[in-house]
Homo-oligomer: A and B are copies of this chain.
Amino acid sequence: MKGPATTLRFGVNYTPRRGWFHSWQDFDPAAAAEDLAQIAGLGLDHVRVFHLWPLLQPNRSLIRPRGVEQLVKLVDLAAEQGLDVLVDGVQGHLSSFDFYPEWTRAWHHRNIFTEPGAIAAQAELLRTLGQALAGRPNLIGLQLGNELNNLVRDNPATPQQIDSYLDTLLAATREGLAADPRGLLALHSAYDAAWYGDDHPFTPEASARKGDLTVVHPWVMSGNCATLYGPRSPQVLHLAEYGVELAKAYAEDADRLVWVQETGAPEPLIPAADAPNFARRTLRGAADCTGVWGVTWWCSHDVDRALADYPELEYSLGLFDSAGRPKPVAQALAETVSELRAAPDEPEDRGTALVLDCTPSTRSVCCPGGAYFDAWMRLRRDGVRPAVVLAERAEDDKHLATRGITHLLRS
């Protein structure tokens, strides 16, 4: 599973149509199978799936066997539809809601990133999930959880503490998966603050160096990209590509893959009429990069408006509406996937790179509106396809040669 991809993977983040993730409480295999069949019908090859932490581990020392069984059942239902699966373990954060077990909150508050008991419990959950999932033929791997860095707000930590947390949990994930000889992926993910946020404790280095590949979630709302530049702007249409190149700059292994694991077209930032083109351009842009594992759209099904309190944009992200009807964006995605599989884009030359000179405290230069972001996008608009090279490596001929970079620009 590791190593350079021969074929790009295309998939979707699975959001159950009926009851969103609350449906775990009333898990209905038939309903899940129906959703998954719709997804497979688009020609996608994988889904990313999510359980809820408080339901899986309601007490620090209780991992619900039935919850784990149902998660495995969902993976098997996906297999029946020919879909591979990445499982996210600790949710954690989903669509603006923070799901914490009660043993981490209020009178029982434990910092989930720094308190040894809380870390050990998460490690145990990941080990248990890994053991239960190992051997499933359609399993891609196990990820610590969805954008755990959203939880920093209530669980402050230093970069060193986050590094240690990620190392501990990735080790537990690998232990859990160890019985499976295929080298399944052990991953972690972060929202864009890791790349854009000055002093944010989840660092670009942690994203680009820990776990078996680099996960990016280049969202058009991060740094107000779509608002600043408009939904049809080059900045929006090349955002996934930029995210990939930025991620590659921080890697230590030039062959390390990047997974565009979340991208989507939130209304009204991307008007519905623009969503199909945004999807096409985003997929083609990512496919045009070297070293991409795949692209996974967020998300499969709209949140039903009968459910309250989601940010407005969360209601419009599905390929299917909440009645199960495919939206135009679904068709555009399916067509683009089919085209790319038939005749993959020949990755363009990335011999030119734009040097990135920033520290953890000034990384917001990379954020939409930042100087580096704007310089990169100016080049892109002018027909250059710049890679990204860190300033500390600009004189490292071996690094440059390994990446095939022949020409450096400075902003």
* Given A103-B309, A108-B309, A308-B103, A22 contacting B98 (CB threshold 8 A): no
In the bound complex, how far is the Cα of B63 from the Cα of A25, in angstroms? Answer: 12
In the bound complex, how far is the Cα of B105 from the Cα of A402, in angstroms? Answer: 48
- Write the A61-98 contact mask toward B (1 if CB under 8 angstroms, else 0): 11010110000000000000000000000000000111
Looking at the complex, which of A51-59, A221-229, A275-283, A288-296 is the stretch in contact with chain B?
Answer: A51-59
In the bound complex, how far is the Cα of B108 from the Cα of A98, in angstroms? Answer: 9
- Write the A93-135 contact mask toward B (1 if CB under 8 angstroms, else 0): 0001111101101111000000000000000000000000000
- Contact indicator A55/B105 (Cβ below 8 Å): no
- A105 proximity list for chain B (CB < 8 A): 98, 100, 105
- Contact indicator A60/B309 (Cβ below 8 Å): yes
A30: Cβ under 8 A from any B Cβ: no
CB of A122 to closest CB in B, whole Å: 14
* Given A25-B55, A25-B67, A19 contacting B62 (CB threshold 8 A): yes
A323: Cβ under 8 A from any B Cβ: no
- Contact indicator B307/A59 (Cβ below 8 Å): yes
- A103 proximity list for chain B (CB < 8 A): 97, 308-309
Contact for A107 among B20, B96, B100, B306, CB less than 8 A: B96
- Contact indicator B22/A25 (Cβ below 8 Å): no
Contact for A54 among B54, B96, B108, B307, CB less than 8 A: B54
- Contact indicator B97/A102 (Cβ below 8 Å): yes
Interface residues of A in 219-275 (CB under 8 A from B): none
In the bound complex, how far is the Cα of B102 from the Cα of A267, in angstroms? Answer: 24
**Residues of A near any B CB (own CB < 8 A):** 19-20, 22, 25-26, 54-55, 58-62, 64, 66-67, 96-100, 102-103, 105-108, 153-154, 306-309
Q: A19-B62, A61-B306, A107-B153 are in contact. List 15 more A-B contacts (CB 8 A).
A: A20-B59, A22-B64, A25-B64, A25-B67, A26-B64, A59-B307, A59-B308, A61-B308, A96-B107, A97-B107, A98-B102, A99-B102, A100-B105, A103-B308, A108-B309
Q: Can you list 7 A-B contacts (CB < 8 A)?
A: A22-B58, A25-B25, A25-B67, A61-B307, A62-B307, A98-B107, A107-B153
